Structure 1
Amino acid sequence: MKPSRRAAARDAVAPGFVAGIRVALTLLSTALGVVLGAFTLVSLKVARDVVTPAPRRADTKIVNLDVAAQTITLSRTPDTELPGRYGLFTSGTESYVKLGSVLSQDATTVKRKLLTQVDAHSRLGADAAFSGWYYDRPEQLHLPYSSELIGSGVGPCPAWLFPAGDGDTWVVQVHGRGATRAECLRAVPVFHGSGITTLVVSYRNDGEAPRSRTGTYTLGATEWRDVDAAVGFARRHGAKRVILMGWSMGGAISLQVALGSAHRDLVAGVILESPVVDWRVVLDYQARLNHIPNSVAGIAIGALKTSWATPLTRTGGPIPFDRLDVVARAEELRHPILILHSDDDGFVPSDASHRLAEARPDLVELDSFDVARHTKLWNYDQDRWSGAITSWLRRHELAPQE
């Protein structure tokens, strides 16, 4: 019996149709693999950026330099329009200048007073970086100090020592990510005035201390050991009590010292300026700020905390985000903590600081600002900032009473 014409046509078409479907599925699978591969590569780049020390980035433009009037006009940003005293990293004949109050502003520019004398022959590049440091060298404080080396697991870490009082109480200051010791100089006078010796330290991969094998940050997971070595240095040099003070990522490092130090008995308190209390909060915020999809940010964090991605992220090991989450570990805290944080921080959101204060109201005091941005609270309102620290020191009997 002969097959019908319809059956014959079906039998003739079927092999070609099936082959076409197979080709389409293969192409679709390949395309999906390419997309997923690209997606993963982007996520890994984000992960590497988080832990890789990077040079300072320009964030403002110099629009005009008036050496006769000693003023400088900058492009307007949420930072450059802030009242107070600041610094500006520049290029050209000057590498850093101090800035005073805002003299005038319009929709796109801000004119500020120069507090560094700039002569008529000075030439500055257009690109600049606005800074809260103000002081960039220890001699600018006009206080006695010495340069020290702190032995650590990666080698000798440079430090500045500012002696004060009877030497019984020390503060160990820890700078943030992408910064150096100079970030901490603003706080030295308030402690010196309270009779407290200040040790301003460096840590691995910050550009001043030795480089680790990988050369990358671990967001506080290993850096804290260098700071713990500084606490040991303070003990050997007569300290009976040590206060830890951390700025931004230095806050995360200081909290890890407070939780894990072999010298916990010596630690008397912790002061945190614009601190990282939970890295996942910070990374989620930064992802939104930079329009990075949640899925990319999630893969990036997942890569940083797992062993399989370590050769690609170059961290030398997984980042222990759970251990770095101090809100989750709040019950382990044993020392009084003062947090100074602005709710408009713009880099490290204050959410985790608020949560830590809510979790441990018996230990944590939060002084929240509204418009001071990231690590610029001293610059914005020096009297309030210094007063908050001084009164906290006295309440906890860490400074002489008047």
Structure 2
Amino acid sequence: MSENSITTAGQKAARVALAGLGAGLGLGALVSIASSGLAAYFARKIVIPGQAPERVQILHVDGFDDEMHIHLSADEDTLVNGRYGLWFDAGRGHAQIGDVIEYDPHSRTVSREVLGVPYGNLRAARTGRWTGSFYPDARTLGLPYENITLTSDVGDLPAWYFPSGAGTEAPGSETSGASGVGTGSADTWAILIHGRGGTRAEGLRAVPALDSLGIPALAIAYRNDEEVRVGNTARYGLGDTEWLDVDVAIDHALAHGAKDVVLFGWSMGGAIAFQAASRGRNKRFVRAMVLDGPVVDWYNVLDHQAKENFLPTPVARLTLDMISRPWAQPITGLETPLDLDRMDWIKRAAELDVPVLLIHSDDDEFVPSGPSHALANVRRDLVTMPHYEKARHTKEWNVDPEQWNDDVLRFLAAHLG
């Protein structure tokens, strides 16, 4: 999930409150107006797409290209060992960052390895955005792939197709549209679904493990993400609408040799996967799901975010009403209210009918792991949940790719045969 800057809605709410003050309204009325404005601001913040700012300070880069070190401002993310991505230059540059070399608690700085710089001039950068997307695009994986285009009711959806050795194109080849895509011989394909505020690059971490099993994969863009949205009218459905594009991806897989699919979802991508597996026209073809830091219950996530932002309970409740009730559509810009009950898989646990691997670190700062544990406890017949505790949000692979790959491979071997 990403943070957005203050929106016009928040500014308007502030002006309304000031106007009320000038008109001599009572304290109760002022509190009510201010609460409504604050709820409107956060409701819009939840559904309006945006990208997190570059908050990490890049202090210095030293060494040669084959042995570079980077010195950064230290925070809860940059202090965790593992392999990460660092976007810089407003997303035009990307560096692959390795383990911590040294931490200075007095200056609150950290030195880390630089494993590669696929794009941009890292030495000239001064700020960056920390990310779990170690691979910025399909080319950097070093595996055969094709650029394809899927088409849904919202228009064209770019996707990467990884044939896992089954296709005929050379690594890095590009194919426009669906024609020319290798069909392969695998009966099961994987659909990789990124999270809120992310891109299809988020799912690339799963591709090497899938390639080792000979499972073709589609890493897809979907409605409202930065590769698809047009203008400023896009609104996230939090999974309540995006699943329609997963159905299109499954259509494509079935048309090119697949007999069934495994859905991989990160964060909100997990919520999308749940909806595709329960509501989609292709739900009978979903054989299993692998979900990383998934949203199992939006009420829990939004309550957690309200507390993190010090929202009073009445404001938090009003925020939930605004994204789920018809009366607030002019405020949120949503075409239809969101059905949060339909996306609550604790309440719907009995309806789950496919095996699920839940990978969810207990220190997840955005999406608490409690609902994942609850679902695993009540559906032990279908849900597998290994232990992770130091990865934060959707970065379990980054902290320990060996464990992540082993857990995924064991799960798939058990359920795909």
Please give the TM-score of this superposition, normalised by the length of structure 2.
0.85
1:59-98 to structure 2, matched below 5 A, reads 59-68=55-64, 70-91=68-89, 95-98=93-96
CA RMSD after TM alignment? 2.1
Q: Any idea what SS the aligned residue of 1:258 has?
A: helix
Q: Given the alignment, which residue of 21, 30, 33 partners 1:34?
A: 30
User: Are residues 311 and 83 of structure 1, via their aligned partners in 2, closer, same or farther at CA, if it must alter by over 3 Å?
Assistant: same
Uncovered stretches (5+) of structure 2, i.e. residues with no partner: 1-22, 167-184
Q: Given the alignment, which residue of 351, 367, 374 partners 2:370?
A: 351
Uncovered stretches (5+) of structure 1, i.e. residues with no partner: 1-26
2:194 corresponds to 1:175: yes
- How far is 1:292 from its partner? 2.1
What whole-Å deviation, never above 9, does each CA across 1:148-206 have from its counterpart, x for those lacking one?
11121111211111012523110000000000001111110100111100011111010
- Tell me, in whole angstroms, the C-alpha distance in 2 between the residues paired with 1:159 and 1:150: 7
- Tell me, in whole angstroms, the C-alpha distance in 2 between the residues paired with 1:100 and 1:46: 35
Q: What amino acid does structure 2 have at the position aligned with 1:130? A: W
- How far is 1:302 from its partner? 1.1
- Tell me, in whole angstroms, the C-alpha distance in 2 between the residues paired with 1:277 and 1:119: 35
What whole-Å deviation, never above 9, does each CA across 1:57-98 have from its counterpart, x for those lacking one?
223211222244611111111211111111111128971111
- How far is 1:361 from its partner? 0.8
Q: Any idea what SS the aligned residue of 1:115 has?
A: strand
Counterpart contact for 2:51–2:197, Cα < 8 Å: yes
- Tell me, in whole angstroms, the C-alpha distance in 1 between the residues paired with 2:121 and 2:36: 51
- Tell me, in whole angstroms, the C-alpha distance in 1 between the residues paired with 2:83 and 2:49: 27
Runs of 4+ in 1 over 3 A off after TM superposition: 27-31, 117-125, 210-214
- How far is 1:349 from its partner? 0.7
% identical aligned pairs: 40
- Tell me, in whole angstroms, the C-alpha distance in 2 between the residues paired with 1:158 and 1:125: 29
Q: Given the alignment, which residue of 216, 221, 234 partners 2:253?
A: 234
What whole-Å deviation, never above 9, does each CA across 1:11-48 have from its counterpart, x for those lacking one?
xxxxxxxxxxxxxxxx9853322221121011110000
Q: Any idea what SS the aligned residue of 2:116 has?
A: coil
User: Are residues 303 and 391 of structure 1, via their aligned partners in 2, closer, same or farther at CA, if it must alter by over 3 Å?
Assistant: same
2:246 corresponds to 1:250: no
**What's 1:109 paired with?**
109
**What's 1:24 paired with?**
none
- Tell me, in whole angstroms, the C-alpha distance in 2 between the residues paired with 1:328 and 1:88: 38
- Structure of greater Rg: 1
Please give the TM-score of this superposition, normalised by the length of structure 1.
0.88
Which sits farther off after the overlay, 28-37 or 271-280? 28-37
- How far is 1:370 from its partner? 0.8
- Tell me, in whole angstroms, the C-alpha distance in 2 between the residues paired with 1:76 and 1:328: 40
- Tell me, in whole angstroms, the C-alpha distance in 1 between the residues paired with 2:76 and 2:130: 11
- How far is 1:123 from its partner? 4.1
**What's 2:213 paired with?**
194
Counterpart contact for 1:67–1:118, Cα < 8 Å: no
**What's 1:337 paired with?**
356
**What's 1:11 paired with?**
none
2:325 corresponds to 1:306: yes
Which sits farther off after the overlay, 86-95 or 190-199? 86-95
Counterpart contact for 2:118–2:140, Cα < 8 Å: no
**What's 2:54 paired with?**
58
User: Are residues 301 and 241 of structure 1, via their aligned partners in 2, closer, same or farther at CA, if it must alter by over 3 Å?
Assistant: same
User: Are residues 325 and 223 of structure 1, via their aligned partners in 2, closer, same or farther at CA, if it must alter by over 3 Å?
Assistant: same
2:154 corresponds to 1:135: no
Counterpart contact for 1:62–1:125, Cα < 8 Å: yes
- Tell me, in whole angstroms, the C-alpha distance in 1 between the residues paired with 2:269 and 2:90: 31
User: Are residues 245 and 121 of structure 1, via their aligned partners in 2, closer, same or farther at CA, if it must alter by over 3 Å?
Assistant: closer
- Tell me, in whole angstroms, the C-alpha distance in 2 between the residues paired with 1:371 and 1:93: 27
1:276-287 to structure 2, matched below 5 A, reads 276-287=295-306
**What's 2:344 paired with?**
325
- Tell me, in whole angstroms, the C-alpha distance in 2 between the residues paired with 1:53 and 1:162: 28
- Tell me, in whole angstroms, the C-alpha distance in 1 between the residues paired with 2:196 and 2:301: 13
- How far is 1:326 from its partner? 1.2
Q: Any idea what SS the aligned residue of 1:396 has?
A: helix
User: Are residues 72 and 216 of structure 1, via their aligned partners in 2, closer, same or farther at CA, if it must alter by over 3 Å?
Assistant: same
- Tell me, in whole angstroms, the C-alpha distance in 2 between the residues paired with 1:168 and 1:32: 63
2:406 corresponds to 1:387: yes
Q: Any idea what SS the aligned residue of 2:190 has?
A: strand
- How far is 1:213 from its partner? 9.4
